[in-house]
Amino acid sequence: MPKHCILIGAPIDAGQRRAGCLMGPAAYRVAGLAQTLRDLGHGVEDMGDVDIVPATDATCDNPAVHSLAEVVGWSNALRTATDSALNTGFPIIMGGDHSLALGSVAGAAAHAAAKGKPLFLLWLDAHSDFHTPLTTTSGNLHGTPVAYFTGRDGFDAFGPFPAVIPPENICLFGIRSVDPAEHAALLEHDIEINDMRVLDEYGIVKPLRDFLDKVVAAGGMLHVSLDVDFLDPSIAPAVGTTVPGGTTIREAHLVMELLHESGLVTSLDLVELNPFLDERGRTARLMVDLVASLMGRKVFDRPTRSFG
């Protein structure tokens, strides 16, 4: 079924220290994301890039944390933009580093709560991003969003998360880099963790379908957050946090195709694309191709598996 896709630019690189992610939204536009969606029969509305007001009164007790005012400002703006876009269509938030999810997922959670539906989260990433502003030693807030969604302490500057996501509604998929403090905290939460060991042992399909079946059973909405480093850096070099051993092109497309077949995805983040590190737009084009698979592009039509 055709969707009304709403493109939201989030040129943020304040959540980490390597400049370049702010060029991400422009790279997606140049790589033809809008036209690709139109070619698949979807409507497209590009809202441009979000404007922010830095939260100059934001404070944190951890002196390592940097750019807090800017990240809180982005979070506030993206929460409003995503919540509003969900009223009329399918938001695609074009980043920008992964701290943008502090706002986009908050907006999705607020919308789901207003609709009386549970929100589920599929985190396609090399990292668990389960630090808090109080536990991070790097001070990079792009490593904190999942902790915010589950209601962990330390996010006073951001305000309460609008509707805390139960840990069992979150699936970390493809992770392969977890700090010791994050590891210890994850053991205290019932988050579904499908790291690369699980995917190597069981394959892509079963773990993902099992999670999607949970979404169906609960009648939930599904937000997908796709980080460039979900992919192996040999095929997607335009990211500042490269971790070897990521998914292949075919594995990543299979994930997207399964998500399309499920019909469950209601909003999408595209994060951590740093065009300054790319090779002639190679990574941007691959990310656009993955969105195309999520939105219905396929090589050969086949019967769709029913979920639930």
Q: Which residues are part of the catalytic machinery?
A: 98, 125, 127, 129, 142, 227, 229, 272
Q: How many other C-beta atoms can be found within 10 angstroms of the C-beta atom of residue 35?
A: 12
Q: How many other C-beta atoms can be found within 10 angstroms of the C-beta atom of residue 8?
A: 28
Residues 6+ apart with CB under 8 A from 268: 90, 91, 92, 93, 223, 224, 225, 226, 291, 294
CA 180 to chain centroid, in Å, comes to 23
Nearest residue to 271 (alpha-carbon basis) of 224, 212, 204, 211: 224
| Local structure of residue 229 (DSSP, 8 states) | G
C-alpha to C-alpha distances, 265 to 50, 66, 228, 287, 290, nearest whole angstrom: 23, 33, 18, 17, 14
SS3 call for 120:
strand
Consecutive H or E run containing 34: helix 33-39
Angle of the 249-262 helix axis to the 282-294 helix axis, nearest 10:
30
